Amino acid sequence: MLISDLKISKKGINTMAVTPLTNRPVPPNGDASRAMFVWVTSSPSQDPLDTDTDQQNLINFLDDANVGCNVIFLGIYQYLGGANWTNAKRDKMRQFVEAAHQSGVKVYALAGNVDWAVNQAWVTKNIINPVMAFNAQSSTASGKFDGIIFDVEYWTDPTNYPADTNLPKFCDLAKAVKKRTNLEVGCFSAFYLKDNSGSRASLAYNGK
């Protein structure tokens, strides 16, 4: 075992570190990028970040010949969101983000819920502030998220979350987050807004 294979902490030598890929993943079909959603659950057995081995398996999977994934939308709520944040969880997520970046993979913080467009104060406190703190506490660029992507999907419940009010409010949220964080901000594609009849919901935003 080489010293370079070990993770060094203030307490001394502990667990195996995650080894970045030697070559960056190459998306298939000549595409410039290929993205993958990685949801993180509260169950350790289903958590892709739980152990060094779990993280290594995910990193290796990105370079599979049939995968070629160079962008990750990484679920953050179970590690950083609201009251879930602990320094141990932060460090575990930091390790993966650094390994992904050193493998040539961009990492976006992923989170969302149906009511976020109309609960922006909660989103700021429980999602945006932790993401900003996570980035601020990294001493290098490789330990920071590249951006934020929302998975809100309020259009699946048009009765309680009508598109004509929630979509403009979500646009306001995205603009506010972009201005405050100076990060790239995206949203899970809103294909549910179009139904099988060929019609789709319309909305007005800033007079357009």
Q: Is the pLDDT of residue 12 over 70?
A: no
Q: How many residues does the chain have?
A: 208
Q: Is the pLDDT of residue 15 over 50?
A: no
Mean of pLDDT over the chain:
86
Residue ranges per domain, the chain? 41-189
**At which residue do the structure tokens 């699946």 appear?**
156
d(CA 99, CA 54): 13
d(CA 10, CA 93): 18
Q: Is the pLDDT of residue 62 over 50?
A: yes
- Are the C-beta atoms of 149 and 73 separated by less than 8 Å? yes
Looking at residue 9, what is its pLDDT? 41
d(CA 35, CA 113): 20
Predicted TM-score (pTM) of this structure: 0.85
Looking at residue 153, what is its pLDDT? 73
Say what percent of the chain tops pLDDT 70: 84
